[in-house]
């Protein structure tokens, strides 16, 4: 069954805002640790461009990527998600 057009747009907007909130959370924690995007990428074993895409909210990271980023930021994935929720509530 197809969704009404407005419902599909709402889901897309919510997904984009979640991605942006996650990106803001990653950037905040990265800057708090005084890491460059390149350093975080190396520690998380991802391409350096990927960090920029995450921080701008362009990509929807997989659970595996979230866990790698959290480890590289010396935190838990749950803390990274909690920070994402805080960022989402601010905007």
CATH number for the domain running over 13-90:
1.10.260.40
Q: Could you tell me the two tokens for 83?
A: 């920070």
pTM of the predicted protein model: 0.87
16-31 pLDDT, tens digit per residue, is 999 999 999 999 999 9
CA 36 to chain centre: 16
Determine the Cα–Cα distance for residues 65 and 71; give it in Å rounded to an integer. 10
31-89 pLDDT, tens digit per residue, is 999 999 999 999 999 999 999 999 999 999 999 999 999 999 999 999 999 999 999 99
Angle ∠(70,66,87) on CA atoms, nearest 5? 80
Q: Where are the domains of the chain?
A: 13-90
């Amino acid at each position: 069954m197809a969704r009404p057009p407005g419902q599909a747009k709402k889901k897309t907007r919510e997904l984009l805002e979640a991605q942006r909130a996650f990106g803001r959370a990653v950037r905040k924690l990265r800057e708090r640790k005084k890491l460059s995007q390149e350093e975080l990428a190396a520690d998380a074993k991802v391409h350096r461009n990927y960090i920029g895409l995450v921080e701008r909210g362009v990509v929807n990271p997989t659970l595996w990527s979230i866990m790698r980023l959290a480890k590289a930021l010396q935190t838990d994935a749950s803390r990274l998600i909690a920070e994402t929720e805080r960022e989402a509530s601010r905007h």
